[in-house]
Structure 1
Amino acid sequence: MSALLTSRQADELHKSLIAYLNSAGYAKAAQTIREELNVPEETFDPATAKKYEGLLEKKWTSVVRLQKKIMELETRAGQLQHELDNATPTSLAARKNHDPSTWLPRAPARHTLQSHRQPITCVAFHPLFSSLASGSEDCTIKIWDYELGELERTLKSHTKAVLDVDFGGPRGNTLLASCSSDLTIKLWDPSDEYKNIRTLPGHDHSVSSVRFIPSGAAGAPLSGNLLASASRDKTIRIWDVTTGYCLRTLRGHGDWVRSLHPTVDGRWLLSTSSDQTARMWDLSQPESNSLKQTFLAHEHVVECCAFAPPTAYKYLASIAGLKKPPPASSSAEYLATGGRDKQIKLFGANGVCIKTLTGHDNWIRALAFHPGGKYLLSCSDDKTVRCWDLSQEGKCVRVVEAADHFVSCLRWAPSVFKEGAAAAGDGAQANGDVQEQIRCLIACGSVDLNVRVFSA
Structure 2
Amino acid sequence: MSNLLTSRQAEELHKSLIAYLLSTGHTNSAQVLRQDLNLAENDFDATTAKKYEGLLEKKWTSVVRLQKKIMDLETRSQQLQSELDNATPSSLAARKNHDPTTWLPRAPARHTLQSHRSPITSVAFHPLFSSLASGSEDCTIKIWDYELGELERTLKSHTKSVLDVDFGGPRGNTLLASCSSDLTIKLWDPAEEYKNIRTLPGHDHSVSSVRFIPSGAAGAPLSGNLLASASRDKTIRIWDVTTGYCLRTLRGHGDWVRSLAPTIDGRWLLSTSSDQTSRMWDLSQPDNNAQKQTFLVHEHVVECCAFAPASAYSHLATLAGLKKPPPASSSNEFLATGGRDKLIKISSANGVCIKTLTGHDNWIRSLVFHPGGKYLLSCSDDKTIRCWDLAQEGKCVRVVEAADHFASCLRWAPSLFKEPAEANGTATNGTSSEAKEQIRCLIACGSVDLNVRVFSA
Q: If the TM-score is normalised by the length of the shorter chain, which range does it land in?
A: 0.7 to 0.9
Is the contact between residue 123 and residue 135 of structure 2 (CA under 8 Å) also seen in structure 1? yes
Work out the CA distance in 1 between the residues paired with 2:188 and 2:212.
13
Matches within 5 A, 1:14-413: 97-216=97-216, 224-413=224-413
How many Å separate the matches in 2 of 1:319 and 1:331? 18
Return the offset for 1:353. 0.3
Q: CA deviation at 1:431?
A: 3.2
Distance verdict in 2 for CA 1:194–1:452, change over 3 Å: same
Given that 2:208 and 2:232 are in contact with CA atoms closer than 8 Å, whether structure 1 keeps it comes out as: yes
Give per-residue Cα distances to partners, 1:95-128, cap 9 Å, x unaligned: 9621000000000000000000000000000000
Amino acid at match of 1:355: K
1:453 is aligned to 454
TM-score (norm: length of structure 2): 0.75
Unmatched runs of 5 consecutive residues or more in structure 2: 1-92, 218-222, 421-428
1:4-50 deviation line (CA, Å, top 9, x unaligned): xxxxxxxxxxxxxxxxxxxxxxxxxxxxxxxxxxxxxxxxxxxxxxx
The alignment partner of 1:138 has SS state of: coil
Secondary structure, aligned partner of 1:331: coil
- Report if the CA contact (8 A) 1:430-1:436 is conserved: no
Report the alpha carbon displacement of residue 433 of structure 1 after superposing the two structures with TM: 5.4
C-alpha distance in 1, partners of 2:202/2:265? 26
Counterparts of 1:224 and 1:417, CA distance in 2: 17
The amino acid of 2:233's aligned partner reads D
Taking the TM superposition and a 5 Å limit, the aligned residue runs for 1:408-447 are 408-419=408-419, 431-432=431-432, 435-447=436-448
Find the aligned partners of 1:453 and 1:409 in 2 and give their Cα distance: 12
Rounded Cα–Cα distance in structure 2 between residues aligned with 1:211 and 1:386: 24
Secondary structure (helix, strand or coil) at the match of 2:418 reads strand
Q: CA distance change for structure 1 residues 277 and 94 in 2, over 3 Å: closer, same or farther? A: farther
Mapped contact 1:260–1:271 kept (Cα < 8 A) = yes
Aligned partner of residue 97 in structure 1, secondary structure: coil
1:234-282 deviation per Cα after TM superposition (whole angstroms, max 9, x unaligned): 0000000000000000000000000000000000000000000000000
Q: Distance in 2 between matches of 1:100 and 1:430?
A: 18
CA distance in 2: counterparts of 1:94 and 1:436, whole angstroms: 14
Aligned to 2:83: none
Contact 2:258/2:271 (<8 A) preserved: yes
Q: What is the rounded CA distance, in whole Å, between the counterparts of 2:101 and 2:197 in structure 1?
A: 38
Structure 2 Cα separation of the partners of residues 308 and 95 of structure 1: 29
CA distance in 2, matches of 1:293, 1:249: 17
Contact 2:120–2:450 (Cα < 8 Å) also in 1 = yes
Show CA shifts across 1:362-403 (max 9, x none). Answer: 000000000000000000000000000000000000000000
C-alpha separation in 2, matches of 1:430 and 1:407: 32
Cα distance in 2 between the residues matched to 1:95 and 1:354: 38
DSSP 3-state at the match of 1:101: coil
Partner Cα distance (2:442, 2:433) in 1 = 25
Identity over aligned pairs, percent: 89
What is the aligned length?
Answer: 353
CA contact under 8 A between 1:95 and 1:103: conserved in structure 2?
A: no
Distance 2:431 2:328 in 1: 10
Between the aligned partners of 1:433 and 1:298, the Cα distance in structure 2 is 35
Q: Over alpha carbons, which structure has the higher Rg? A: 2
Deviation at 1:430, TM superposition (A): 7.3
CA distance in structure 2 between the aligned counterparts of 1:172 and 1:317, rounded to whole angstroms: 36
Kept in 2: contact 1:130–1:145 (CA 8 A) = yes
Deviation at 1:146, TM superposition (A): 0.1
CA distance in 2, matches of 1:94, 1:321: 36
Question: Given the two structures, how large is their TM-score scaled by the length of structure 1?
Answer: 0.76
- CA distance in structure 1 between the aligned counterparts of 2:418 and 2:332, rounded to whole angstroms: 23
CA distance in 2, matches of 1:206, 1:262: 20
Contact map agreement 1:139 1:158 (CA 8 A) in 2 = yes
Structure 2: how far apart are the matches of 1:187 and 1:115?
A: 22
| Contact kept in structure 2, 1:230 and 1:259, CA below 8 Å | yes
Matched to 1:446, the amino acid is: S
| Residue identity matched to 1:231 | S
Runs of 4+ more than 3 Å apart: 93-96
